[in-house]
Chain A
Amino acid sequence: MTTGTAAPSRPSAPRRPEDSIGGTVQAYVDKLRGGDVGSLPAILGFIALVIFFSAMRPDSFASTRNAANLLNQAAPVIFIAMGLIFVLLLGEIDLAAGFTSGVGAAVLVVLMTNHGVAWPVAVIACVATGLVIGSVMGALVAQLNIPSFVVTLAFFLALQGVLLLVVGEGGTISLTNETILAIMNKNLSPALGWVLTVLVVGGYAAIAVLGSISRRKADLPVTSTSVTAAKVGALAVIMVAVTILFNQERAVNPAIKSLKGLPLIVPVTLVFLLVLTFLLGRTAFGRHVYAVGGNAEAARRAGINVPMIKIVCFAIGSVLAAFGGVLFASYNNGVSPTTGGSSTLLYAVGAAVIGGTSLFGGKGRIIDAILGGLVVAVIQNGLPLITQKSGIQFIVTGAVLLLAASVDALSRRRSAATGR
């Protein structure tokens, strides 16, 4: 306190080095050097992989049709990963998320196809199934203090069995409902695509500006207008480019059936991104989730009901996984005993970790699931175009997951060393 070199604690002069664009870039570089790489590996990886596969397979990979397919392919994994982020933020793991989505899909399809239940009721039943699975797992972890690894491994096995029993061994139940199939198979009209673009960019700008205004009113340091403008500009460029790309005709034979516009899954995912990001970033519940992941003892002493937070996070994770099951059912036109099985869980964990969510808890954002999910989908989509050997595909995917986990562990070590 006597040093007198530090800046005043109550900066009424809001001009700080971080305020300029140069300062913001410098602060970001410092952050990276400090080990907090965030989503940068995912973004760079995505760009590198797209360039690589486009160069290798210019006809099959680099087509707008494949791009649309890629988004739909990525969606179920992205949803499971969004749910996993809640669990990972606590420093826990949910190994059953894959089969939770499978069971969710089975509940949906069996109710609709075998029992003729209306789609809203079936979707609610599917989500409720996820809610029950997640709550029970969460309660076992939080109340009985069984390691989540063991609880969810048990559920992984048991839910696999449930899926087999519900669907029947070797059987496949098909889904014909137009509404559910539309989620993964229909597109927005080009005009609606532009409306969405304007809404997203305008909404983002509005939130940024309103935030700045309220901070300025409170006499708090404000991000400079140029930095905000640069961020909004970058988002606008990306959104416009994506919209133009997907608004092109991509049908094999447009005369028979036209195929253009942003896939319907894009706005659906954006809505979830918005709601869940709000939940984690702007509510007391979200703050408490980060606190429990950072230091559960400190959270407990602050009066936070730690077991309740854990149960709710597992429940949210499983609900989102069950919703991922709806997407699987929509994408595959039905459900089979392997829906949500094999590598689904690994892809989802990989997506979250590649996106920048830490396996050690306390660090992660919902957008990580989307960025990481796209990287996973590019590998999943591009590799079969290069090699037919599924052995190689497994090895590459495993290596990528390991690479992401190493980046996470190394950045954590670096953070500890540099104190960030």
Chain B
Amino acid sequence: MTENTQNAGGEPILSLRGINKSFGAVHVLKDVGLDAWAGKVTALVGDNGAGKSTFVKGIAGIYAFDSGEYRFEGKTVTVNHPKQSAALGIEVVYQDLALCDNLDVVQNMFLGREMRSGLTLNETAMERRAQETLAGLSVRTLKSVRQKVSSLSGGQRQTVAIAKSVLWNSKLVILDEPTAALGVAQTEQVLQLVRRLADNGLAVILISHNMNDVLRVADSVCALYLGRTAAQIDARSTSTTQIVELITSGRSGDLGLPPALAQEAVA
């Protein structure tokens, strides 16, 4: 796939090459590759079962890849556990968001990593930091950071989950279908937030099924087809049709998998 990488954009912060992963006899990821750059949104697209989730879980360290090269900030690293990816500065916002409804925004953002002074929680410091983080992302949709998450709308929850992921000076944020369950206005808000993350200098990997969303915010698009990387292309030089072709047949014109491989993948 590397030959298809048309995004110059400097050294990628995350670079994966020749990744393989099998579950028993099922070969889920075959020589998959992906680049992600600081300050850019990289969309990861693919049909159901193309291997997106497995790929992302591997990046996050929930599964260990069987083989392949995992380079982060130019260095080859080993990531076999979520703690290792977190230590590198990789945060994943899963589709179910993992928020506690009975806790407020600040409590959720700092869950498991509470700031303390001695034995007690340092509530004022956490509240300030939460407000600063939200302000840094230009979030204006939250009335108060002390309201419970159960009182928030879907878009607001997504916002909190994303803000939580950037609270810890993370360098790469992976968003799993952040707009899947949202209405039009809230989708718009979340997309703007995704764009702002990249503009703030973070690398963002956006998993999405929605081609409009992808073309609106992504700088680079990586399409998976039946466990292989069909192509990673510059978002400015592509179209919805081209991405859909890559997703559904692994090829689009002279882009994508060689015909033999695309056929083999079907067989």
B111 pairs with A1, CB closer than 8 A: no
Residues of B within 8 A of A34 (CB): 151
A290 pairs with B100, CB closer than 8 A: yes
A291 pairs with B138, CB closer than 8 A: no
B6 within 8 A of partner (CB): no
Q: Known interface pairs A10-B135, A284-B116, A419-B150. Does A1 touch B98 (Cβ–Cβ under 8 Å)?
A: no
A297–B101 Cα distance when bound, in Å, is 12
Q: Report the minimal beta-carbon distance from A273 to chain B, rounded to whole angstroms.
A: 17
Residues of B within 8 A of A290 (CB): 100, 102-103, 107
B140 pairs with A6, CB closer than 8 A: yes
Q: Report the minimal beta-carbon distance from B88 to chain A, rounded to whole angstroms.
A: 15
Residues of A within 8 A of B153 (CB): 419
Residues of A within 8 A of B125 (CB): 218
CB-CB nearest in chain A for B159: A1
Could you tell me which residues of chain A, from 288 to 316, have a CB within 8 Å of some CB in chain B?
288, 290-291, 293-295, 297-299, 301-304
- CB contact between A6 and one of B131, B142, B152 (< 8 Å): that residue: B142
B100 pairs with A299, CB closer than 8 A: yes
Please indicate which of the listed interface residues A16, A287, A295, A297 has the most CB atoms of chain B within 10 Å of its own CB: A295
B47 within 8 A of partner (CB): no
B193 within 8 A of partner (CB): yes
Binary B-proximity of A1-39 (CB < 8 A = 1, otherwise 0): 111101111100000100000000000000000100000
B141 pairs with A301, CB closer than 8 A: no
A1 pairs with B193, CB closer than 8 A: yes
A101–B103 Cα distance when bound, in Å, is 32
A362 within 8 A of partner (CB): yes
A291 pairs with B140, CB closer than 8 A: no
Task: Tell me the count of chain B residues lying within 8 A, CB to CB, of chain A.
Answer: 46
Residues of B within 8 A of A420 (CB): 148, 150-151
- CB contact between B124 and one of A214, A283, A293 (< 8 Å): that residue: A214
A284–B127 Cα distance when bound, in Å, is 15
B128 within 8 A of partner (CB): yes
Please indicate which of the listed interface residues B96, B100, B121, B193 has the most CB atoms of chain A within 10 Å of its own CB: B100
Please indicate which of the listed interface residues A214, A282, A291 has the most CB atoms of chain B within 10 Å of its own CB: A291
Residues of B within 8 A of A215 (CB): 124
A283 pairs with B100, CB closer than 8 A: no
A291–B103 Cα distance when bound, in Å, is 7
Interface SS majority for chain A: loop
Q: Report the minimal beta-carbon distance from B156 to chain A, rounded to whole angstroms.
A: 10
A348–B15 Cα distance when bound, in Å, is 58
B114 within 8 A of partner (CB): yes
A85–B141 Cα distance when bound, in Å, is 35
A219 within 8 A of partner (CB): yes
Residues of A within 8 A of B142 (CB): 6, 9
Q: Known interface pairs A294-B102, A295-B101, A302-B111. Does A1 touch B132 (Cβ–Cβ under 8 Å)?
A: no
Q: Report the minimal beta-carbon distance from A413 to chain B, rounded to whole angstroms.
A: 13
B121 pairs with A282, CB closer than 8 A: yes
A1 pairs with B151, CB closer than 8 A: no
B75 within 8 A of partner (CB): no
B128 pairs with A218, CB closer than 8 A: yes
Q: Report the minimal beta-carbon distance from A212 to chain B, rounded to whole angstroms.
A: 11
Please indicate which of the listed interface residues A34, A221, A284, A419 has the most CB atoms of chain B within 10 Å of its own CB: A284
Q: Report the minimal beta-carbon distance from A113 to chain B, rounded to whole angstroms.
A: 39
CB-CB nearest in chain B for A418: B151
A3–B185 Cα distance when bound, in Å, is 9
Binary B-proximity of A355-373 (CB < 8 A = 1, otherwise 0): 0000000110000000000
Can you give 23 contacting A-B residue pairs, CB < 8 Å?
A1-B141, A1-B189, A1-B192, A3-B140, A3-B141, A6-B141, A9-B134, A9-B139, A9-B142, A10-B135, A215-B124, A221-B144, A282-B121, A284-B116, A284-B121, A288-B112, A291-B111, A294-B101, A301-B98, A302-B113, A303-B83, A304-B111, A362-B100
Interface residues of A (CB under 8 A from B): 1-4, 6-10, 16, 34, 214-215, 217-221, 278, 282-284, 287-288, 290-291, 293-295, 297-299, 301-304, 362-363, 415, 419-420
With contacts A284-B116, A302-B112 known, what are 17 further pairs, Cβ within 8 A?
Answer: A8-B140, A9-B131, A218-B127, A220-B127, A221-B144, A287-B111, A290-B107, A294-B100, A295-B101, A299-B100, A299-B111, A303-B83, A362-B102, A415-B150, A419-B150, A419-B151, A419-B153
